[in-house]
Structure 1
Amino acid sequence: MASRTAHPYVCARCASKLAYQNYAWPAIPLRKSYATKSESTDKPSAITNETQNAPSNTIHSEPTPEPGAMSRRLQEATDEVLLTGGKAGRRAIKDAGFSEELKEKLLAKVKDAQFRSQYAAAFSEVDMPSSAGEGTRITATSQPWAGQETTEDSVLRMLTDTHKPLDRELRGRPKIPDPRPVDMRMRQQSKLNPGHRVANARDKASMYTSLGLKESGGGSDERERAARREEFRERFQPGARTLPNTLAGLASLANQRIEDAIARGQFKNIPRGKDAAGPTTRINNPFIDTTEYIMNNMIKRQDIVPPWIEKQQELVKAAHTFRSRLRNDWKRHAARTIASSGGSLEAQIERAQQFARAEKLHNPRKGDVDQIGTPIDSTSDAVAVGNGQQTSMSAEESHNKERSTIETKAPLLEPFRDPSWLKTEQSYLELSIKNLNTLARSYNLMAPELAKKPYFKLERELSNCYAEVAPLVADAIRDRATRPQKPLVEAVGDRPSSILDRFGNHGTKAKIHDSRAPHYGFKEMWRDLFSRQER
């Protein structure tokens, strides 16, 4: 009969305590050095052979001990220095004497962290599950907040606050331009127009006219020309255009130029205050190129006139003088010719009005001919064409109505012309037109394309003159008939008497007698006075 052995009773608390005491805990190395290589790394082949030839019971060896808390903290500190320290952190790791394997491992971590931080949006989009919403995707791929606003966001916010975007209804649909192939073949340079070549040569040579190459009586002073020559000479010297590369150097250069300008007196007459420079829409709009506007404003403030503007003023003045004289001569001749045909004043005026109606019917007036020019741009040209078409249609309708009413009232005369007067003035008119065309040709060589003016033609000028003067002939005849007439020949000595002459001798002429008798004095006056009383 087998004997039964009684085991002592052990409670659950004691069993757990005993198990905790008997468990083999891994040893925690208190100090771990990375300065030297381990023997396992020095002989990898021997370890490999030993492990291959070892019996199967060695596979279940003890597990590798985990690093302690201090080791993990030191490793985290090293990684943090590598990631945030930059070159200083890498230099510290190199100077610490770590092994090459550990250095490569740490540097690989640094490169991986830099790559992930540079393309964080792409990594977050790749790691994002497909069930994520659009808002989550936008938040994950957007740039994280770094504590301050970037320059691009600041500029965009200021532009949006200053210039509010259009409403969605007013916006146009974006149109993507079609890609066009770029011709990369070598081409011959296009030949310039002779007029353009002359204008470019004149513009390039204008800056040298004041340097003494062409002597002129009204030029600048000799000292100014010498100073300008010295300035041009300094520009082409080596190192004349070098600028400092540092902020301090640029600041000192700016201060030096400001002090030179103050010494020259350029800051004396500068307007100051709120109203010094009025706000303009173009200069405050960041979407418009203000270079041309600022240059034109500078030219306007300094009273600088381009050469072609001066030529334009000369041409306009000459054309106005010629047209004014032509109209005055023709009006005077037409009034005299119509008045010399006889009849009463009313008959002469009626005849002049009939000639005016006939002129309006056969040669209608075409607006102000003094304004000669070309349209500024395509928009104004299109608007002008549209307005011109409407005006021509309305003018044609009114012209037809007026013509029908005039033909029903009375028979019309032919427009008034005088071939003899035209033959007499032919040489003067042709010479004047030739002079105006010469001025226009020289102006067109200097002016830009949009500001060029057409040439003058004698037939067109005479037609405009007839159309403008015809309504004024009747008034000229009336003024000529009602104004007081002046004597053609004045008598010798027949001058209008003055006020003293009228009060003294009642307008009679004094008679002077030439005599050799003694001078008439006070004694002779008393003698004549008493002799008259005695008589």
Structure 2
Amino acid sequence: MLSRGYRIGWRKVVVSRGKLRFSSTKQITGSGSSSGDSGSNNGSNDSGNGNFGNDDHQDDSYMKRRLQQLAEDATPIRDDPSIGIPQDALPYNQIITKEPNVFKNNNNDTEKSLMESDPNLQKIISNLEQASFDQKYQREIGVSKIKSYVNKHSRDLALHQPWSGKESQQDSTLRMLIDKHKPLSITKKNGDSLITPKLPNRERINHAREKSLDYLLSKHEIKEKTPKAQDDKWREQYKERLLGPEMFIPTSFSNTVNAYKAVADQRIDEAKRRGDFENLPNRGKPFKKDSHSSSAYIDRTEYHLNNILKRQDIVPPWIEKQSSVEVVIRNFRDSLDKDWLKRGINLICEKYPNKSLQDQSKIIEQFAIAESQDNGAKLRDKHWEDQQLSYLNLKIQSLNDTIRGYNLQAPLASQKMYLTVERELKNMYKRINRPEVLNDALKNHVIGDKDNHELQKKKSQQSKLSQNKYLAYNELPQQPTQGLGSLFLNIFKKSNSERNY
């Protein structure tokens, strides 16, 4: 009967007739032999070691050894070439005997473990460890990634516990307080500003000093006496010199308010004397209440000012600028359309001079179809475009400057795009190169030339008749003229003759 041997570290397991035997011979390799040979070898090994006696008495844990044998059969051996890549097989001794690094080469160097030799496996294991760490400390990692510029509300939301579906007592109390007391639309920012605010002109004038005067005063100060700066009369003169006539005008808040009230009362009295309050349109009618005027989220001053502008039909500056920009762009496009319409009609007449009006209309329709479908020969004049290019560049640059000034005033939703020469020419061709536009222009061109020719003939005939009917200016009869000296001489002669008479 055949027997089978398995190498386990420094031992060898021999299976013979369904039983296990262990051999401690170091040079034994797994091989198959006859039952007689295996029996003799086993006998010698048993007698040499002295570890095994009778099989019937020593193999009490036969089932355990049998299971161990099945595990050995199922586990691939590292040195077995039929299992594939050696790195894919675990070392035999690490699974059975738990003794790492028992395989040694001829140089007695310790082999690396599977994890150290395979970089892909190391990468996978490191990723698994990182993923488990991220999952375990997910909340802490999220908190550490919060930016420093995040506001307090967002930070509290990130650090707060997730909502469980029930409203807590603190949240309900806060909600009721917010519903009762609406927040103001404008809140004062707390905290000291890094930039020093600019002082009003009144305070700047009060704190102003001339270096030259300070220098002169420093020379004449007397330590024993009080300085001139503390003298009341001198301070008044100094203040008058610095502030001028403005020092006599009251600058306090109460005086300013009283001045405004006086002006308002004066105008109201003048309106009463004129009778402006007698025929008011809303007199005796209930005052119209506006729901937005009492809202805490709208600035009342700004709201009332906007209503005043609306009632007075006053528009913001950017709307006025918008109308002027649209007019300038419209005029530019109209002039460009007229120039190309004239050139297009002349171009058709130059290319097809012998064609009739109907044939020229058909040619125009072909050009219009090619323009709409963007395919085929189109009505173009490269020479005309080159002539107009310099003018178009300057004109569009000027229009873009106007649009830029408008965009600086207008809100983002109402801003306009800048113009380009290519886009304007393309849109102009689409507007003009249509059959109805070109046909009407062609008819007016042809009929207009005939009418002009007839008018010129009539004018020439009328001019000839007028020459025959009326005399020229050089043929008109004129009285004889005399010089200024002779005129005075005749006057004196007449006066002398009258005296003698």
TM-score (norm 1): 0.35
TM-score (norm 2): 0.37
